[in-house]
Amino acid sequence: MKKTFFAAILLTSAAAAFAQPPADHNTFTIVKKVDHTSVKDQAHTGTCWSFSTTSLVESQAMLAKAGVFDLSEMFTVRNIYTDKARNYILRQGKAQFSSGGLGNDVINAMARYGAVPENVYSGLLLGKKQHDHRQLDVRLKSYLDSLLKYRPVPANWMEGFQSILDDHLGKAPEKFTYNEKVYTPQTFASEVLKFKKDDYVFITSFTHHPFYAPFILEIPDNYGSESYYNIPLNDMMSLVELAIQKGYSVMWDADVSNANFKQADGFALNWNDGKKVSRPIDPDAEEGAYDQQVRQQLFETLVTQDDHLMHLVGLEKTPAGKKFFLVKNSWGEEGPFKGYINVSEAYFAINTISLVVPKAALDNTLRAKLGLK
C-alpha cells in the first residue's frame, strides 16, 4: 500500500522522502510523524506480522537513540515456524499451522530467540531478490501432517523440519559480527537493540470480555493463546492518537479485505454502504457511523477478520480538520503514496483487531486501570 504525505504543507524532509500525491487529492497537514525505517516488501509470503512489528521495534530503537537498524524479519519468521510446528505436533494437528501470525509473535520471539540484522540473515538464497514462501509453506505443513500418521512420532522429527527451513531460508546464525564485536542473536537484541519484552503491551477492544482486563483473543492466528488487554473503543482511539503525538508508533492488526480499503488509491475510509464512491477519492467525504456495538457485531458475525498487519507511523489532517492515520505497509512501494496509506479514524475504529503499543505511550490513568507499572 502506499502513502505519501501530502506535499503542499509538508516539511522539506518529508517531501523528499515521499512522492507527490496526485494533484486532485486534498492536501494533508502532517500533525506528527514518528521516525521509522523504509518500506519493505513481504512479497509472496504471509509474514506481514513480522514486517509490521519488526518495523515497530526498529522505530523504538531509533526513539531510544540505540541506532537505525534494518532487522531481519525472516529470522523471526523462522523461529515462529519452529514454535508453531512444536505446538502443532503436541496438539496432534488440532491447532493452527500457517504462515500467518500476530504482533505478539514477534515480541515473544525476540525475547526468546533474539534478533539479527538483515544482512546477517535475509532469508533469501541463490541470489533471489524477493521472498516467496509458497513452496515452503506447503512443504512444512505436509511434513508435519505426515509425522502425525505415526505413533510414536519420530523423536528426531525437528531435524527434518529444520532441514526444510534451511533449504528455503538458509541456516540461522548462532553468532555473528556486528561493529567488530561478536554477538549471539540474544545478546544483540539485549545489548545493541536494548530490546525488552516488557516495553510493549498488546491491546484490543471487544465487549464479549470485561474491559480493563486481559483475555485470550479468539482469532485463528493466535496459535499461542496470547492475552490482550481489553479497553473501550474510545480509550483505544485516544491511546493511538496520544501515542503518535508523544512520538511512539503502533503496530496495527486489521481487516483489509473489505471494499473500503483501497490500496491502489492510497486511502481506507469507512464509506456508507451502497454509497457510490467518486474518483478521485475525497478524503473529506462522509463516512459511515461507528461505535462499539457496530464494531462488535461485525467481529462476531465474522465480517471483520484478522487480515493484515501494518505499522502506524503518523497522524495527519485534511484542511477541513478531519484526522487520518499514516500507515506504512509491507507490500513494497505500491500505490500513489509509495507504500503508505491514509487511514481514516472511522475505518480504523471499525476494522482494528489488535495493537502492539509501546508501554511508555500509555498515560498513567490507563496504566492504573490495566494494573500496569
The DSSP string of 212-279 is TEEEE--STT-TT--EEEE--HHHHHHHHHHHHHTT--EEEEE---STTEEGGGTEE--BPTTPPPPS
Confidence band, pLDDT 50/70/90 cuts, at residue 30: very high
Of 206-210, 257-261, 294-298, 351-355, minimum mean pLDDT range = 257-261
Q: 273 pLDDT exceeds 90?
A: no
Q: Give the global pTM.
A: 0.91
Confidence band, pLDDT 50/70/90 cuts, at residue 239: very high
Express each pLDDT in 65-108 by its tens digit.
999 999 999 999 999 999 999 999 999 999 999 999 999 999 99
pLDDT of residue 281: 84
pLDDT of residue 357: 98
Of 4-8, 186-190, 206-210, 320-324, minimum mean pLDDT range = 4-8
Residue 295: alpha-carbon gap to chain centroid? 20
Domain extent at residue 328: 7-370
Residue 2 lies in a domain: no
Residue 1 lies in a domain: no
Query: How far lies 135's CA from each of 11, 45, 127, 141, 165, in Å?
Result: 44, 10, 17, 10, 11
Express each pLDDT in 109-129 by its tens digit.
999 999 999 999 999 998 899
Q: At what angle do helices 73-90 and 103-113 cross, to 10 degrees?
A: 100
Q: Output the CA torsion sign for 188, 329, 16, 56.
A: negative
Omega before 280 cis (within 30°)? yes
Mean pLDDT of the chain: 91
Residue 302 lies in a domain: yes
Express each pLDDT in 331-367 by its tens digit.
999 999 999 999 999 999 999 999 999 999 999 999 9
Q: 20 pLDDT exceeds 50?
A: no
Q: Which residues are catalytic?
A: 48, 308, 329
- Domain with residue 19: its CATH number is 3.90.70.10
If one counts the domains in the chain, the total is 1
Q: Mean pLDDT, to the nearest integer, of 283-289?
A: 89
Q: What pairing do the DSSP bridges indicate for beta strands 308-317 and 29-33?
A: antiparallel
pLDDT of residue 72: 98
